[in-house]
Amino acid sequence: MTTVLLFHHVLGLTPGIHAFADRLRESGHEVITPDLFDGRTFATIDEGFAYRRESGIDTDERADAAAAALPSDIVYGGFSLGAMPAQRLAQTRDGARGAVLLEGCAPVGDDGFGPWPPSVPAQIHGMDADEFFIGDGDADSAREIVATVPGSELYLYPGDGHLFSDSSLPGYDAEATETVMARVTAFLERVGA
């Protein structure tokens, strides 16, 4: 069993995030899904970012508080916006077992959260024509991690959807998500206690 701290995307802690976490739990893992938005969910990415900006919520502070309540030897995961605190914690919190980054990946090194620890593998997923994952350079950052961190993997799926692994959203891709789930489960087995 592996403990996973899984952060939601900018639309909030949706039923699709709960469903994804439940599937990991069914595989025997402990999954914690903190709500960084106080129960609020949004229909569009723009609405989610507007709420985050206008509310003054510090998602990093909330992510740190969630992590502080757990042992350090866990896997950090996140969807899109949630991949950012997951990546930061995996890179900076001693003892991390790994990172699962779904549809988001920040630069490594001086542009990001510092160097990636060579003992912390990452598994990164995104669509090969996603305007955010490809267009914003996330895939390039993911390739850098895979090239330098042993045991790291990047998986690209055909399509242009963003948040494709959230079953409660219109862009959900069931086939791609089944493959994501199989790969994430295998990764958790590999890096778990």
Please list the alpha-helical segments (H only) found in 13-161: 15-26, 45-55, 59-68, 83-92, 138-148
Q: Does residue 176 contact residue 184 with C-beta atoms inside 8 Å?
A: no
Query: What pLDDT does residue 145 have?
Result: 96
> 41-89: per-residue pLDDT in tens?
999 999 999 999 899 889 999 999 999 999 999 999 999 999 999 999 9
Q: Is the pLDDT of residue 186 over 70?
A: yes
Q: Is the pLDDT of residue 10 over 70?
A: yes
Summary mean pLDDT of the chain: 95
Q: Does residue 36 contact residue 63 with C-beta atoms inside 8 Å?
A: yes
**Cα–chain-centroid distance for residue 60?**
14
Q: What is the mean pLDDT of residues 116-133?
A: 96
Flag the least confident range among 26-35, 51-60, 106-115: 106-115
Q: Is the pLDDT of residue 29 over 70?
A: yes
Task: Quote the CA–CA distance of 161 and 9 in Å, as a whole number.
Answer: 14
Tokens for 48?
């989610």
Which residues are bridge partners to 109 per DSSP? 114
For 3-191, which CATH superfamily applies? Alpha/Beta hydrolase fold, catalytic domain (3.40.50.1820)
193 pLDDT band, cuts 50/70/90, is low
Task: Quote the CA–CA distance of 134 and 21 in Å, as a whole number.
Answer: 25
Query: What pLDDT does residue 109 have?
Result: 80
Q: What is the mean pLDDT of residues 108-116?
A: 81
Query: What pLDDT does residue 113 have?
Result: 85
Q: Is the pLDDT of residue 1 over 90?
A: no
